[in-house]
Amino acid sequence: MKDIASIAPLHYTHAGLAEPHANESPVVLLHGMLGMGRNLGALARSLAHAYSVFSVDLLNHGGSPRTSAMDFSLLADTVVSLLTDLGIPKVHFVGHSLGGKVAMAIALKYPERTDKCIIADIAPVAYEPEHNDLFAVLSAIDLSQFSQRAELQAYLSDKLNEAAVIQLVLQNLERSPTGWQWRMHLPAIIASYDALRGSITLPDQGQPASCPCLFLSGGRSPYWQPEYQARANALFSAASFSTIVDAGHWLHIEQAERFNGEVARFLSASDH
């Protein structure tokens, strides 16, 4: 695994307050696999009146640096390294899916850098390799064969049956002087997949995180099951749980207003 010192800072965008309110931490948003910081743009805009908000592209995603492989420890290290570069001592983390696992890893490895944590529709457990079919489709694509974005969209629509996943993939498509290319570093994501679908565990000699942590799930999502609560409680001593009933895994899109409201309420509460 690459040494953190040799990796350039992660790409990010900033919204909201130039400086946080007194005694208030900035908010850092962490996206899911194959995504980028702007995936949580609606949430960033909803928080911008009250917080300093940083939307980060995780390693090997979006505009961030590329490595040959990654695991949760490296992903956590690169996010914290960015915060150090920005002179930010402590933040609230909001992470969806893979970003939620990265947020958990940071809270456990760097408790002093974590104020509150909101984990959107993911648990600290190992998941089945359900992305293998998607990776096979993406790996077989020769982007030079497509002249228009609509052509690739039609191709993906024939191969994949989830519109949200197709849109997630298409946002990674960008023009270069030599033609289409992916923003994500697909080989590294595939090479790291077994690690990224794995469980979150305590670091060596680590203790459960004591920060307030909300596990916010979609009621129709397969990514959260009732039995996962015990594992979350074992890692986060101040865990709480909430469900947006009429939402699936993409709860921040399907029920954006309710999702944004739950996040804002948790961040502003002083009694957690």
Residue positions annotated with a catalytic role? 97, 249
Give the tokens for residue 260: 């944004």
201, HSE (Cβ side, Cα atoms, 13 Å):
10
Closest by CA position to 31, among listed 19, 42, 18: 42
CB 80, CB 106: distance < 8 Å: yes
CA 45 to CA 13: how far, in whole Å? 12
CA 199 to CA 108: how far, in whole Å? 13
CB 189, CB 35: distance < 8 Å: no
CB 91, CB 114: distance < 8 Å: yes
Beta strands across the sheet bearing 27-30: 12-16, 52-56, 27-30, 91-96, 114-120, 213-218, 239-244
CB 238, CB 256: distance < 8 Å: no
* Contacts of 64 by beta carbon, 8 Å cutoff, 6+ apart: 10, 11, 56, 57, 58, 78
User: CA dihedral in degrees (44, 46, 49, 55; nearest 10)?
Assistant: 0
